[in-house]
Amino acid sequence: MITEQKTANGFQYIEIENKSCTAKVALQGGHLFHYQQHGQKPLLWVSSKSHFKEGKAIRGGIPICWPWFGKHSADPTLPQHGFARTSTFELLEVKERDENSTELTLLMLSSAETHTLWPYQFQLLLHITVGQTLSLALTSRNCDTKPFTISSALHSYFAVSEIGDVSVKGLEGKEYWNALTGDCEIQQGSIHIREEVDRVYQQTTDPLQLSDADRSVRISSAGSASAVVWNPWKEKSAKMGDMENDAYRTMLCIETANALQDARTVLPGEEHTLQLRLTAAAVK
């Protein structure tokens, strides 16, 4: 079952409920900001100070960074992480695949407004499937007469029991660009977060595994060969207007990306799909 909802200040979202889970998706940004299997804790972290307001990205859930990830390479005055996360998507279709699984299709089209930020004709299609697992597929179609290059991310904010409990496996031996120092380094062993971390891992091949005291989450991807790991830690959390001071203790971003060397060029009439599937299991 899906219902159309609005927050007190008129921010529109869709609420989904089936036999497996509940989920919420905002039309702004096609932004899934809640996913919870019945009897489990929410999988995704959302800031209690997040704005649910037009033109401001929700702090948490899975924002879509598109058509560029991070700062625009040529013009730093353009919005960080592109414009998809603050653009309105249209809900095209809802399918109840079975009693456990619901699929939403959302669409964003190029317009005169997007043209001023990024001069291409495109269709951006988002499929979200919520059930015993959570899947997202983001398809970028080039409807222009010239090729375009996109960098992007499904910027998942995971809720974790306590940051000190966390480990991330699957990136051992991978090279990463450390955004805090500008250096390239090699990941030694699994990841534990003990300080601010902002890294873009390259040539990722395997599913990742995020574990904390309560559960283990398998993060599988397709159409992606890069992943971002981000935790702002103490000082940055405190400086961000839409995060509680100690928010860094209960969240970790692991983003399924097409970033840096993994940016993708899409030819006229062609498309590229970035996919993510999350499967959570409780630790016994």
Instruction: Rank residues 87 and 101 by Cβ distance to ligand BG6 and give the closer one.
Output: 87
Instruction: Rank residues 57 and 160 by Cβ distance to ligand BG6 and give the closer one.
Output: 57
CB of 73 to ligand BG6, least distance (A): 14
The answer to whether residue 185 is catalytic is no
Q: Which residues contact 74 (CB under 8 A, 6 or more apart)?
A: none
CB of 186 to ligand BG6, least distance (A): 19
Instruction: Rank residues 56 and 169 by Cβ distance to ligand BG6 and give the closer one.
Output: 56
Residues that bind ligand BG6 (CB under 6 A): 57, 80-81, 155, 179, 198, 228, 230, 255
Q: What are phi and psi of 260, to 5 degrees?
A: 50, -125
Q: Which residues contact 16 (CB under 8 A, 6 or more apart)?
A: 1, 2, 22, 23, 24, 25, 102, 104, 130
Instruction: Rank residues 91 and 179 by Cβ distance to ligand BG6 and give the closer one.
Output: 179
Alpha carbon dihedral 25, 28, 29, 30, in 10-degree steps, equals 30
Q: Counting Cβ atoms within 10 Å, is residue 182 exposed (0-12), middle (13-18) or buried (19+)?
A: exposed
Instruction: Single out the catalytic residue among 15, 34, 155, 235.
Output: 155
CB of 127 to ligand BG6, least distance (A): 22
CB of 257 to ligand BG6, least distance (A): 8
CB of 38 to ligand BG6, least distance (A): 30
Instruction: Rank residues 14 and 64 by Cβ distance to ligand BG6 and give the closer one.
Output: 64
The answer to whether residue 244 is catalytic is no
Q: What are phi and psi of 213, to 5 degrees?
A: -70, -25
CB of 36 to ligand BG6, least distance (A): 23
Instruction: Rank residues 72 and 215 by Cβ distance to ligand BG6 and give the closer one.
Output: 72
Instruction: Single out the catalytic residue among 81, 255, 270, 271.
Output: 255
Q: Give the catalytic positions in this structure.
A: 155, 255
